[in-house]
Amino acid sequence: MAAVELVEYVAKSLVDEPDSVSVSATRDGEGTVIELHVAEDDMGKVIGRNGSVAKALRTLLKVMAAREGEPISLEIV
């Protein structure tokens, strides 16, 4: 899925430990849920100040969801 690859690419570009980044996607009744796992020390870099990076990632996913016609949500854990 292109959305998973996009989230993984952006996350690996932001963090200090790119080997610790893992992304998984699951489908539920409401669409696709993408889970992003990063190292504890890199959590702030992925979320950003006041959540700005996380908001930007979610905006990109909304654009992809509109293309595919299926809702996509992002969970950072």
CATH number of the domain to which 56 belongs = 3.30.300.20
**Percentage of the chain modeled with pLDDT above 90:** 86
Question: pLDDT-based confidence at 1, cuts 50/70/90?
Answer: confident
**Percentage of the chain modeled with pLDDT above 70:** 100
Domain span at residue 23 reads 2-76
Q: How many domains does the chain have?
A: 1
Distance separating the N- and C-terminal Cα atoms of the chain? 20
Tell me which residue of 37, 40, 36, 44 sits closest to 73, measured CA to CA. Answer: 36
